[in-house]
Chain A
């Protein structure tokens, strides 16, 4: 069985299963004055965190296993989000402020007469779903193909991903792009006929997110456990060696990169109806870099570590930005420095060390993913983005 000796993974899935039951029940069935009641805002917040966890999972796939530090994964997340946003905007129909049956409010406001061609089809959910999968995937494919073929790796590649998301942010901020400009898409009313404000819908979205996360985990684990996963990890550790074994490493990298992008897109798509808005700041470079810290804190190369890290850091952020807003950026910066210097394998690594200390064997498949040992010569090669 795929997960037979993945004890931590099974634990993770069980935890998700419990959440998927406890939260909806706590919100819908338990009376408001009970201490076990889960307020509705908490449902949306939890759903948001779950989406972030899926996004972190996607990044862990390319970073922990493929060794690519993507600083632009927020772009795929945002693209999926916009795809869902466009569907939801079309669903508003006549319930918008201007009451136009076809054109969303912001287009009426801009005096546009008709729907741009790229909005066609988004009134139908299957099409929108297809776009949510395709658009991030195609972008990843295009970018990856260009980058991997020219053997751009390491720091160079990371900066390229930053530039990619930055360029997209600039583009989507423009009002004439037809995606709502700097206000983005918002004021959504319903999804598949269900009122977005209704508790039932909220819980449904939450459960859907949990299912997506669980599914994402299983898919990633399957990939990572397969021979393809071993090849990919070998690429991470010594790309030129893999090439000299006769593998076309750029194809493997492309595959994993695209899968990761699609997962991120799905996360974004589930995120948007739960927070009610999508705007171009989601493309912001700093958003993408925050994802990295989630994975780093949790422990990269474990998959579930990324999910835990995402929830932990975002919980801290939610708390700090309200209670001590000045402090949050210091904390975030400090996390970057602290985790990379003191805790390179994140919390999962720390837990593993503690378990090993007490004689319990840890890790998945006996693999404790250590950061790859780079020889001295490897340093500049990596920095220059050339094969080691």
Chain B
């Protein structure tokens, strides 16, 4: 019963097929099919209300689709699992607003995100093992926050909070990273740093980025999926997308206008 429109290879880590979601009569997602491989860097763009955030919600289990399949890896049906279980499977999501734990230090934030150790009593007696410590250090250097390790997360700049959050995602060693509008509110340098970070991560993970900022999307040099009214409008490289008539029409005069 494999659909013919989607080519599944062994690298496919996430696939959606014929997904529909309706809120109060409004079709947020309309018969959408999509697949992501690992490793890959994918951008999802589209006007407001296109369904980008809802798509993320479906994948992470926050919202249940009315119909369609959502599969992780070879055969894991995501529609049957709750958010915590999906997270533990290896799908990490970073929300638009940074939600780090402001009262905890950068180190503690990362430590909390350590994979495993989710039981109540084991955490009572928990001692940080050296491998775990090393892992934290590794992530710290990836996200570039080594110098801020003892600072309270609440004191970080906006961009730094976003990276910390990505770092927290990485602690769980996920297969898939869903990143929702990472560069909103960032300075130019922070945006560049973020592009570099995500590109680096896409070497070992499936990184899916939802974004509005077209310069940023262009700088990522990734496959782009355009969403519109809950359906996929076009898919391909950034240059192909820019030239697509339908995309231009939807964006009212072309992608350039949104930069």
Contact, chains A and B (beta carbon distance below 8 A)? yes
A-side residues, CB < 8 A to B, are 223, 226-228, 230-231, 233-234, 237-238, 240-248, 251-252, 255, 367, 369-370, 372-373, 375
The answer for the CA separation of A242 and B154 in the assembled complex, in Å, is: 16
- Give the residue of A246, A370, A375 whose beta carbon is less than 8 angstroms from that of B84: A246
Neighbouring A residues of B119 by C-beta, 8 Å: 251
Whether the pair A244, B101 counts as a contact (CB closer than 8 A) is no
Residue pair A237, B126 in contact (C-beta under 8 Å): no
Contact B126 A227 (CB under 8 A): yes
Most-contacted residue by chain A among B60, B102, B111, B112 (CB, 10 A): B112
- Least CB distance from B167 to A in Å reads 12
A369 and B103 CA atoms in complex are apart in Å by 7
* A234→B124 contact, CB < 8 A: no
Which residues of chain B in 206-244 are interfacial with respect to chain A, using CB atoms and an 8 Å cutoff? none
A226's nearest neighbour on chain B, judged by CB, is: B124
| Residues B103 and A245 in contact, CB atoms below 8 Å apart | no
For residue B99, CB closer than 8 A to chain A, the reply is yes
A227-B126, A373-B154 in contact; A244/B120 too (CB < 8 A)?
Answer: no
Cβ 8 A contact of A243, one of B83, B103, B112: B83
Cβ-defined contact, A231 with B172, below 8 A: no
Beyond A234-B101, A241-B101, A242-B112, 7 additional contacts (C-beta under 8 Å) are: A226-B124, A226-B125, A228-B124, A230-B104, A246-B115, A247-B118, A372-B103
Q: Are B103 and A367 within 8 A (Cβ)?
A: yes
The residue among A243, A246, A255, A373 with the most chain B CB atoms within 10 A of its own CB is A246
In the complex, residue of chain B having the shortest beta-carbon distance to the beta carbon of A367: B103
- B87 smallest CB distance to A (angstroms): 4
13 A-B contacts (beta carbon < 8 Å): A223-B124, A227-B123, A228-B120, A233-B104, A234-B101, A245-B87, A246-B84, A246-B87, A246-B88, A246-B172, A248-B118, A252-B120, A252-B123
Contact in complex: B84, A238 (CB < 8 Å): no
Min Cβ gap A258→B in Å is: 11
Q: How far is the CB of A140 from chain B (nearest CB, A)?
A: 15
Q: Are the C-beta atoms of A233 and B123 separated by less than 8 Å?
A: no
Query: B172 contacts A227, CB within 8 Å?
Result: no
**Cβ of A246 and Cβ of B118 under 8 Å apart?**
yes
DSSP majority for the A interface?
helix
Query: Which of B60, B102, B115 is within 8 Å of A237, CB to CB?
Result: B102
Given contacts A227-B126, A248-B84, contact A238 B101 (CB under 8 A): yes
Inter-chain contact B87/A227, CB cutoff 8 Å: no
Interface check B113, CB cutoff 8 A: yes
Fill in one digit per residue for B109-141: 1 if any A CB lies within 8 Å of its CB, else 0: 001110101111001111000000000000000
**Beta-carbon nearest neighbor of B108 in chain A:** A230
- Among A228, A240, A252, chain B packs the most CB atoms within 10 A around the CB of A228
Closest chain-B Cβ to A368's Cβ sits at a distance in Å of 9
Query: In the complex, are the beta carbons of A373 and B117 less than 8 A apart?
Result: no
Closest 8 CB pairs of A and B: A227-B126, A228-B123, A246-B87, A227-B123, A241-B99, A246-B88, A228-B124, A234-B101
A220 to chain B, nearest CB (A): 12
**Shortest CB–CB separation between residue B155 and chain A, in angstroms?**
12
B99 touches A255 (CB 8 A): no
Judging by beta carbons under 8 Å apart, are B84 and A226 in contact? no
Separation of A248 and B104 alpha carbons in the complex (Å): 19
Of the listed residues A231, A233, A240, A375, the one surrounded by the most CB atoms of chain B closer than 10 A to its CB is A231
Q: Which of A230, A255, A375 contacts B120 (CB 8 A)?
A: A255
B120 touches A373 (CB 8 A): no
Q: Does B168 contact A (CB under 8 A)?
A: yes
Nearest residue, chain A, Cβ from B93:
A244
Contacting B123 at CB < 8 Å: which of A226, A245, A246?
A226
